[in-house]
Amino acid sequence: MLKKIISAGLILSAVLFTTQVKAQVASARSIAEVATKEISYLGLTESQANKVTEINKMTADALIALDNKAGDNSSSQNNKMIADEFVSIIAQRHQAMEQILTPEQMAVVKQDRAEKIALFRTLIMVPILDLTERQVEQVYEINFKGVQKVQKDFGKRLNKKNASPEDADSNKAKKVIISDFKVLDKDFKKILSPEQYEVYKNNQDLIRESAKKG
């Protein structure tokens, strides 16, 4: 069985970091090793690298388990359960990484916020829409464009370059995000099947709210 979320992560790693990885995955250990190599630019010590690999393995195990129980994507209750558990898994990984990396390394990790939000939003959409490998890349590109638009709009409103939703009033932030991503509906409609597009429209609030937690 294709591990959708994990495979999507590796596909996007190839897109973002030009790493040659095979989408079909063999084990949580191999996933963990690839994920650790992707952050080698942080200059990890040997001790840090070993600890990060173990964290990535636990994360991979959890995501594989989540993949295996992802059910009917026409059920809003099931989709919310999958999204909530995904957010929880990623949050736990982030907290564990903070205990290992130095403040300077964490500062580097937090750079390129648009890229990371787009990645997180795409990974949430994988099980909900049952995206194909090709669609994963296309959805990421659309999401990245949307996140950049949101950041630009917040920057204009707050006179701050690449401002994030956290910098603005929550109600205003919600309106900007909804408006900017609404414009992208036509892009999603081009690459999704009619059935997928209907599921996407029915789960837009869930996707938006889950992505904000990432």
Contact criterion met (CB below 8 Å) for 57 and 96? no
What is the average per-residue pLDDT within 159-173? 53
* pLDDT bracket for residue 107 (50, 70, 90): confident
Whether the pLDDT of residue 191 is over 90: the answer is yes
Q: How far is CA 45 from the centre of its chain?
A: 26
What contacts 25, CB < 8 A, 6 or more positions away? 3, 6, 7, 10, 31
pLDDT surpassing 90 at residue 99: yes
Q: What is the pLDDT of residue 50?
A: 92
- pLDDT score of 83 more than 90: no
Element (H, E) at 121: helix 113-129
- Say if residue 105's pLDDT is above 80: yes
pTM of the model: 0.65
